[in-house]
Chain A
Amino acid sequence: MSDKLKLGNKEFSSRFILGSGKYNLNLIKAAVEQGGAEIITLALRRANTKESENILDFIPKGVTLLPNTSGARNAEEAVRIARLSRELGCGDFVKIEIMRDAKYLFPDNEETVKATAVLAKEGFVVLPYMNPDLNVARDLVSAGAAAVMPLAAPIGSNKGLATKDMIQILIEEIDLPIIVDAGIGKPSQACEAMEMGAAAIMANTAIATAGNVPDMASAFKLAIEAGRKAYLTGMGRVLARGGSASDPLTGFLR
């Protein structure tokens, strides 16, 4: 049985997406070779350089680029960055990141919905990064998003599924892939999100700051696959509290 992640008109076997926070050649290499990543996020503002470290040169062939709009403070700036990215030949995929907060880097949901609507109409495959809120997720669906990317915890914090219950609701109520983005700090947390039914995991800091980057990339790959398999298989029941009563409450009925 093929189990593909569909985004726009593309299909992916891997459900691990490399985020853009900390970039270097070794990290990208590890993410692709040991982590099996087929999608790599690219901060367009970092590609905007004439120097030798241009990230575009680091991206291996066959990998899908996911340019993001980091640095944008409102919908208008995000739209301009996305258009520039398309002009530069970075393709039609775009991850919307709009931040009005320099401290926690929280996404601005309202502006994100606006930018999604504009870019989806222009034929972009729009993947919006958002603070998990069911109403906003529905608005993103209406606006033409290709997936919804809720944050698990503040970006770069490695704090795991701090917004677990909210993400679970999005998974249950939204018909688009839910890609958990930001805050995933350990493979076990990635696995847990996948067991919950997340479609994919985006991570960066957890791998970039690991003691051994290639091994951690590999650990994430295994964790994401394990979680996915468990989700597809159907989890065994977990009783909420203690065991079940041996004498049924309804035993008196005739």
Chain B
Amino acid sequence: MSDDRIYFIDSDTLPPEALAKKHRLENDPSSRADIMTYLPGMEVIDSDIKDKVPAEMNAYDPAAYTSADVERALTREHCNVEDFKALLSPAAAPFLERMAARAEKETENRFGNTVYLFTPIYIANYCQNYCVYCGFNCYNNIRRKKLTPEEIDHEMKVISDAGMEEILILTGESRKYSDVDYIGESVKIAEKYFKNIGIEVYPLNVDEYKYLHECGVDYVTVFQETYDLTRFEQLHLLGHKRVWPYRFDSQERALMAGMRGAAFSALLGLSDFRKDAFATGLHAHLIGRKYPHAELSLSCPRLRPIVNNDKINPNDVGERELCQILCAYRLFLPYAGITVSSRESARFRNGIAKICATKISAGVSTGIGDHEEKYEGKQGENAGDEQFEINDGRSTEKMYKDLEEGGLQPVMNDYLYV
């Protein structure tokens, strides 16, 4: 990996003690907590998937696969784990067009020409973690904000009025500022406006997921960021998020709590993207084996610039590599949803929706409380800063139109809460 120093940004507003602690965390590994040790209150569940995935990932050598392996994978009706490894390997790069053609066919058989639309809403950006690449990290000097119930109601109404029926509620990772009750209340407000509610918040225990499910949540997204434990340790220097196995079991705890579906992802560009993509797919695959009713989906975020650091970039994960990963996901897990966020350009999203993406976001803001400003041009005065810079800023209406013009069928909702 390139030098991690590009991630380390000092803010001149930090008190000297905080700055000293930040530098210690960055420079002295012994000052950081053990990533495998659960913190008090973190539920431990009986599951061996968190052992299997890193073990299989470490044994995976992308360079060991040849074009013959890729050919074999492409002619097989159902790709197995070995085929998946071949499709993610450098040897598969010259086969990209053929992979895309197969992926398109699989997607059509399973999903037709439909593409689901959703939008994320960030209700708070307070965070107690120091993840060096993230705009919300606790040492980054940004405008912090937590929406009040009235503000959440207002934001959701603006989004709903634009035609959106599915919402993904996000927070920074702070139990202190955004506790489970606060999230639950925001879900209850969302129930008034949306048919389909997902959350992407800090990992929770089973009883907490149960509570949020009762409030109206059906889908839980938790990104593992990287499945490479060494890299994980180097990039998540402080906070609950450092506890790798607790985070890994989030999807399983959510499904145990009765959630309908779960989403997985590595943040591509943090480590060896082929290995991380392999681990992400395997993680979803093994969860699917254990919970066959679960609706699983995969995301594919690449690193993006953040407030105060425009040098952050996806490293060696170009668009061709991203496309290869997504086609490999589709061929290995034909039934899984694939979500492509506004981190990618309009051109990329239009193209990938025809191959294998089944869900894309529209009308996106990753800031806090600025939907009205973004949708209607009204001046927002006290919005909170965003998590990352988005790339595709199309409105819901524009996205709907563009998809239709591309021969796809936008779907606002395909879900009945019973």
Which A residues are within 8 Å of any B CB, using their own CB? Answer: 21-24, 43-46, 48-51, 53, 71-73, 77, 80-81, 84, 99-104, 156-158, 205, 208-209
Contact = CB atoms under 8 A, between A and B. Distances in A.
B413 A51 contact: yes
B149 interface: no
A173 B268 CA distance: 56
Name, among B110, B296, B416, the residue most crowded by chain A CB atoms within 10 Å (CB to CB). Answer: B416
B54 to A, nearest CB: 24
B108 interface: yes
B90 interface: no
B394 interface: no
A23 B117 CA distance: 16
B81 interface: no
Name, among B288, B293, B294, B296, the residue most crowded by chain A CB atoms within 10 Å (CB to CB). Answer: B293
Given A48-B195, A208-B112, 6 more contacts: A22-B114, A23-B112, A43-B414, A53-B409, A53-B411, A101-B292
B416 A24 contact: no
Contacts of B410: 53
B287 to A, nearest CB: 11
A136 B34 CA distance: 54
A153 to B, nearest CB: 12
A77 B112 CA distance: 25
B415 A22 contact: no
Contacts of A73: 293
Interface string B392-418: 000000000000000001111111101
Nearest to A100: B293
Contacts of A48: 195, 413, 415-416
Contact of B109 (A50, A77, A158): A158
B409 A24 contact: yes
Interface in B274-303: 288, 292-296
Interface of B: 108-114, 163, 165, 195, 288, 292-296, 335, 409-416, 418
A220 B340 CA distance: 36
B114 A100 contact: no
Contacts of B292: 100-103
B415 A21 contact: no
A24 B414 contact: no
Name, among A22, A80, A99, A100, the residue most crowded by chain B CB atoms within 10 Å (CB to CB). Answer: A22
Nearest to A76: B418
Given A22-B113, A100-B292, A103-B288, A51 B165 contact: yes
A102 B409 CA distance: 22
Nearest to A24: B409
Contacts of A43: 414
Nearest to A204: B112
A71 B411 CA distance: 16
Nearest to A85: B416
A84 B415 CA distance: 13
A51 B412 contact: yes
B416 A102 contact: no
Nearest to B109: A156
Nearest to B108: A209
A44 B109 contact: no
12 contacts: A23-B112, A24-B112, A43-B414, A46-B411, A48-B416, A53-B409, A53-B410, A77-B418, A80-B418, A101-B293, A102-B295, A158-B109
A81 B418 contact: yes
Nearest to B285: A103
A46 B108 contact: no
A22 to B, nearest CB: 3
Contacts of A44: 416
A115 B163 CA distance: 35
B293 A50 contact: no
A99 B260 CA distance: 12
A73 B409 CA distance: 26
A22 B107 CA distance: 12
Nearest to A21: B112
Nearest to A99: B293
A102 B195 contact: no
A102 B415 contact: no
A71 B416 contact: yes
Nearest to B293: A100
A7 B108 CA distance: 32
Contact of A45 (B293, B295, B414): B414
Given A23-B112, A101-B292, A49 B418 contact: no
Contacts of A46: 411, 413-414
A102 B108 contact: no
